[in-house]
């Protein structure tokens, strides 16, 4: 029997009036998004449910539907908020290469602050104001530079770097913090890998384990990025 039913079991006459509700202070998309981001930062994207977000604002889940029309929209707003953070690092300076590199590093830093960001990045196309501003600024940094006279070449360069960054961050994230920490994961997968190698069917993997100097994630990211930028530079001359 619910509390409600328990109350109504008494007659109207002796039943107290409902406590005058404490004038719920109005919400805002910004508050909601902040709460959602806090949850995602703390416990991962899976912890972002309309119920939990609502609860952290002393509201029921349905209350949020006054500000959003679906959970997808909330995620969209979260993405845009992160782009907002990135923009607050200031305008892009330097030549096209420095600009693209800076954008890549900003994205990576954002992904480090908000691990869930990566999972949301590749979803549907993002059209929030901060995203548009981000794209606009990136294009503007390249536009007009020698070799980037036509907008198509700008799009190719930005698109390629973007794709690399997206994939690299996803790979990076997949190797790290999978619920279990790095050590735990290696404890499970290590022996398996060893067993696979000892079958003799994977000589290259064996060589990787034996010879590879595993540089830090930062270095790996930067080297790959340099590669991509070199490719773009090579294309400019042609």
**What residues line the site for DNA (CB under 7 A)?**
2-4, 18, 20-21, 23-24, 26-27, 48-52, 59-63, 65-66, 70-72
- CA–CA separation, 128 and 72 (whole Å): 13
Instruction: Tell me how far, at minimum, the Cβ of 52 lies from DNA, in Å.
Output: 5
Q: CA torsion sign, 88 to 89 to 91 to 97?
A: negative
Structure tokens at 208: 């990787």
Q: Does 205 engage in binding with a copy of itself (CB under 8 A)?
A: yes
CB 232 within 8 A of CB 155: no
CB 74 within 8 A of CB 109: no
Closest CA relative to residue 74, chosen from 43, 29, 118, 109: 29
Site string for a copy of itself, 30-69 (x = CB under 8 A): ----------------------------------------
- Widest distance between CA atoms in the chain: 89
Q: Does 234 engage in binding with a copy of itself (CB under 8 A)?
A: yes
Match 């002796």 to its residue by tokens.
14
Q: Which is nearer to a copy of itself, 65 or 185 (CB)?
A: 185
Site string for a copy of itself, 78-117 (x = CB under 8 A): ----------------------------------------
DSSP string spanning 190-225? HHHHHHHHTTTS-HHHHHHHHH-----HHHHHHHHH
The one of DNA, a copy of itself, none whose footprint includes residue 132, by CB under 5 to 8 A per kind, is a copy of itself
- CA–CA separation, 185 and 174 (whole Å): 11
Structure tokens at 191: 């022996």
Segment 109 to 168, residues that bind a copy of itself, using CB under 8 A: 118, 121-125, 127, 132-133, 135-136, 139-140, 143, 150-152, 155-157, 159-160, 162-168
Q: Which residues bind a copy of itself (CB under 8 A)?
A: 118, 121-125, 127, 132-133, 135-136, 139-140, 143, 150-152, 155-157, 159-160, 162-168, 170-171, 173-175, 178, 189, 192-193, 196, 201-205, 207-208, 211-213, 215, 220, 223-224, 226-235
């Amino acid at each position: 029997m619910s509390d409600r039913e328990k109350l109504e079991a008494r007659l109207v006459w002796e039943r107290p009036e409902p406590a005058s509700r404490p004038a719920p202070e109005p919400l805002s998309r910004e508050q909601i998004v902040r709460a959602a981001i806090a949850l995602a930062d703390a416990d991962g994207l899976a912890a972002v449910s309309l119920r939990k977000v609502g609860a952290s604002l002393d509201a029921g889940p349905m209350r949020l539907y006054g500000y959003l029309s679906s959970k997808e929209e909330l995620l969209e707003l979260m993405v845009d908020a992160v782009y907002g953070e990135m923009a607050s690092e200031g305008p892009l300076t330097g030549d096209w290469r420095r600009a693209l590199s800076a954008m890549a590093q900003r994205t990576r830093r954002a992904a480090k602050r908000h691990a869930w960001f990566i999972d949301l990045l590749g979803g549907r196309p993002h059209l929030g104001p901060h995203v548009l501003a981000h794209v606009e600024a990136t294009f503007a940094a390249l536009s007009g530079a020698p070799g980037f006279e036509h907008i198509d070449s700008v799009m190719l360069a930005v698109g390629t770097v973007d794709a690399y960054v997206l994939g690299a961050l996803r790979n990076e994230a997949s190797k790290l913090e999978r619920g279990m920490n790095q050590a735990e994961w290696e404890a499970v997968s290590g022996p398996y890998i060893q067993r696979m190698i000892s079958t003799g069917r994977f000589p290259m993997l064996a060589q990787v384990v034996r010879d590879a100097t595993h540089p830090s994630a930062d270095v790996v990211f930067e080297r790959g990025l340099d590669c991509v930028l070199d490719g773009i530079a090579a294309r400019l001359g042609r």
